[in-house]
């Protein structure tokens, strides 16, 4: 997997691997870190996918069930995005929204934690999360009812009874206080995207051109998202391609073990010692004599377990996924995020993020898509991935075998790092939300100059489910309301600015920026606890080598 990850992170690897010269260079570079069979296996697998893929098909990414592309966003669209987002960046210093706790390194331009659904405060025009019609946001601003915004947990779990018993796993990470607010995007039969409802924290009139650009960018992600979701369907996972099976590993026999230990520790008869001294080996080693229980225990713990040197890539183990996901002709709910990481000579190093999955359980996020649309003067950085694993089957006392085969020791975490993706400029990435991911540290290449990275994220809500969205929640931003209050086609009827301000201040709804920031702090604290708890309970469970 590490060899595959290294090669698949290279730009345009499917074309480059066809070159004998480039392929030989890669093998030479990899040979100092990996065995020859592992390299050959990886090269054979990659060649298989390249040779058996149709023109234009997106190949699997560096980590299983991830997909990447360095070319699906044309340069003109990238430039449009950069130029149009600049309107969000070029505002007075005091209005810049630095992410809390980021030491003024992460600049939030559009972030779902600001003005989220606040249960008990947010209003909606209907409690139907699948409305046939999306009303114009201006016509419903300031309207709606709190009663239409309800927390729909499963299994009868409520905020009240959750305090009295330990909730089951499928509802344990549910928030009764907050929910990120997705926009509605329709995908037509040709894969074209149309934003139907406003994007939370992105004004539709002020940023009209950006809305059009975001549609075009998102629709280019659809093939990647289709592939990630297809690979992640539970029924397809049952037929998942297993590169090396347990049966492919070779266990050292007891006779081989006894001979090795007896020779290394000098537990030999006089005749055996003489034969070893004269020939360097003992041809007919007899291990039929009695050994202590401790010696047999040592065999279970110290026997050599290793994959067969004859392991080769077997294309017959790869089967096409039976069920395919195609998001054409669907109406999706998508949470949008725009953020910049900004480094300066005074604050030069980004320390990286924490291991996490996106969102709470009630947001039902199934995949993340990230577009690294601009960066300058930063070192190579990676997005790391890891997955929780189940406790393996093993023979009692087989400490050595478990370590050699699974890399596990007593009291270690049941988690496996499964690779990384290099986060290059103009690279698009999709991955399933079953993995924890973590942004790795990076810093300016030239520490005397500033550096930055700009990202656009799309978090996809499970298409088979529906949550509260901007289709039914009127804009909660009081600033948007004030803009409309101060606009009038008939200048005679337009109220003076002072009166407009007074009206706005007296209104309890929509929500003020200060109130929204207060909720953001509480939301972030809730999710911080959630991430920590989920990491301990799912991704860092302890492995116990106990007696069966």
**Can you tell me the mean pLDDT for 216-221?**
98
| Dist. CA 224–CA 230, nearest whole Å | 10
CA distance 366 to 359: 10
Looking at residue 321, its pLDDT comes to: 61
E strand intervals along 291-444: 305-307, 330-343, 365-376, 382-388, 415-422, 427-432, 436-439
Q: Domain check: are 400 and 292 in the same one?
A: no
Note whether residue 203 is domain-resident. Answer: yes
Q: Which of 264, 295, 317 delimits the end of a domain?
A: 317
CA distance 78 to 217: 9
Angle at 163 between CA 162 and CA 166, to 5 degrees: 65
pLDDT computed for residue 490 by the predictor: 45
The lowest-confidence range among 193-202, 252-261, 305-314 is 305-314
- Over residues 263-302, the pLDDT tens digits come to 677 666 666 676 666 665 666 666 555 666 777 777 776 7
Specify the pLDDT at position 486. Answer: 79
Across the range 227-247, mean pLDDT stands at 70
Identify whether residues 361 and 411 lie together within a single domain. yes
Distance between CA atoms of residues 112 and 114, nearest Å: 5
Domain-located, residue 546: no
Is the domain of 227 the same as that of 266? no
Same domain for 53 and 81, yes or no, is no
229 and 373 in a single domain? The answer is yes
What average pLDDT does range 7-18 have in this prediction? 92
Q: Mean pLDDT throughout 407-420?
A: 73
- Determine, yes or no, domain membership for 483: no
Q: What is the pLDDT of residue 373?
A: 98
Q: What pLDDT shows up at residue 207?
A: 98
Q: Kindly state whether residue 66 falls inside one of the protein's structural domains.
A: no
Say if residue 8 is in the same domain as residue 128.
no
Q: Give pLDDT, residue 322.
A: 67
**pLDDT score for 499:** 47
Reply yes or no on whether the pLDDT at 434 is more than 60: yes
User: What digits encode the pLDDT tens for the residues 306-355?
Assistant: 666 667 787 766 666 668 899 999 999 999 999 999 999 999 999 999 99
> Are 212 and 287 in the same domain?
no
The residue among 460, 471, 504, 466 whose CA lies nearest residue 485 is: 504
Distances, alpha carbon 438 to alpha carbons 60, 98, 102, 460, in Å: 20, 20, 15, 18
User: For helices 478-485 and 497-506, what crossing angle results, to 10°?
Assistant: 150
* pTM of this structure: 0.83
**Proportion of the chain above pLDDT 70, given as a percent:** 74
Let me know whether 406 and 450 are in one domain: yes
Do residues 298 and 420 share a domain? no
Domain count, the chain: 3
* Contact of 466 with 177, CB cutoff 8 Å: no
Task: Round the average pLDDT of the chain to a whole number and report it.
Answer: 84
Residue 47 domain-assigned (yes or no): yes
Structural contact between residues 465 and 127, judged by C-beta atoms closer than 8 angstroms? no
Residue 224 lies in a domain: yes
Per-residue model confidence (pLDDT) at position 290: 63
Residues 285 and 361 in one domain: no
Domain end, chosen from 265, 286, 317, is at 317
363: cis peptide before it, omega within 30°?
A: no
Q: Which of the pair, 28 or 240, is modelled with greater confidence?
A: 28
**What mean pLDDT is predicted for residues 151-169?**
56
- Domain check: are 222 and 128 in the same one? yes
Final residue belonging to a domain, choices 269, 285, 317: 317
Residue 174 domain flag: yes
Which pLDDT score is estimated for 53?
A: 77
Domain that holds residue 263: 253-303
Task: Please report, rounded to a whole number, the percentage of residues in the chain having pLDDT higher than 90.
Answer: 55
Say whether both 291 and 327 belong to one domain: no
Query: Does residue 63 lie in a domain region?
Result: no
């Amino acid at each position: 997997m590490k060899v595959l990850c290294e090669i698949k992170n290279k730009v345009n690897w499917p074309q480059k691997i066809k070159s004998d010269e480039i392929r030989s260079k890669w093998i030479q570079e990899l040979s100092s870190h990996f065995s020859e069979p592992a390299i050959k296996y990886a090269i054979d697998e990659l060649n298989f996918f390249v040779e058996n893929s149709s023109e234009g098909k997106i190949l699997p990414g560096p980590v299983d069930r991830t997909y990447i592309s360095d070319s699906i966003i044309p340069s003109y669209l990238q430039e449009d995005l950069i130029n149009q987002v600049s309107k969000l960046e070029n505002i007075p210093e005091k209005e810049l929204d630095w992410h809390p706790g980021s030491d003024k390194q992460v600049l939030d331009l559009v972030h779902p934690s600001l003005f989220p659904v606040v249960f008990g405060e947010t209003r909606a025009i209907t409690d139907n999360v699948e409305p046939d019609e999306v009303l114009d946001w201006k016509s419903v601003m300031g309207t709606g009812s709190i009663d239409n915004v309800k927390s729909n947990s499963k299994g009868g779990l409520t905020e009240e009874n959750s305090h009295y018993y330990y909730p089951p796993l499928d509802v344990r990470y549910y928030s009764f206080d907050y929910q990120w607010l997705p926009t509605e995007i329709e995908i037509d039969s040709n894969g074209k995207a149309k934003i139907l409802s406003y994007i939370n924290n992105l004004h539709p009139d002020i940023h009209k051109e950006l809305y059009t650009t975001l549609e075009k960018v998102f629709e280019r992600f659809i093939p990647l998202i289709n592939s990630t979701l297809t690979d992640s369907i539970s029924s397809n996972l049952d037929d998942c391609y297993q590169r090396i099976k347990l049966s492919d590993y070779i266990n050292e026999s007891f006779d081989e073990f006894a001979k090795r230990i007896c020779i290394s520790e000098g537990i030999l008869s006089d005749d055996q010692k003489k034969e070893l001294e004269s020939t360097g080996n003992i041809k007919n080693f007899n291990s039929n004599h009695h050994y202590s229980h401790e010696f047999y225990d040592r065999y279970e713990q110290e026997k050599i377990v290793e994959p067969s040197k004859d392991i080769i890539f077997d294309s017959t183990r790869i089967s096409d996924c039976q069920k395919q996901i195609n998001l054409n002709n669907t109406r999706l709910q998508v949470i949008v995020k725009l953020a910049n990481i900004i480094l300066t000579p005074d604050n030069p190093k980004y320390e990286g993020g924490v291991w996490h999955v996106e969102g709470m359980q009630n947001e039902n996020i199934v995949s993340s898509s990230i577009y690294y649309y601009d960066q300058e003067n930063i070192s190579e950085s990676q997005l790391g991935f890891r997955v929780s694993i189940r406790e393996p089957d093993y023979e009692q006392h087989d400490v050595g075998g478990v370590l050699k085969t699974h890399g596990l020791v007593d009291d270690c975490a049941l988690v496996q790092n499964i690779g990384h993706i290099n986060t290059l400029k103009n690279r698009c990435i999709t991955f399933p939300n079953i993995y924890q991911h973590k942004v790795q540290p990076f810093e300016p290449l030239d520490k005397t100059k500033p550096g930055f990275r700009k990202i656009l994220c799309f978090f996809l809500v499970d298409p088979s489910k529906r949550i509260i969205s901007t289709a039914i929640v009127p804009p909660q931003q009081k600033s948007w309301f004030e803009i409309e209050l101060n606009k009038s086609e008939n200048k005679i009827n337009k109220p003076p600015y002072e009166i407009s301000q007074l009206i706005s201040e007296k209104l309890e709804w929509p929500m003020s920026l200060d109130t929204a920031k207060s909720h953001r702090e509480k939301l972030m604290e809730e999710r911080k606890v959630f991430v920590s708890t989920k990491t301990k309970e799912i991704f860092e469970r302890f492995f116990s080598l106990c007696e069966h």
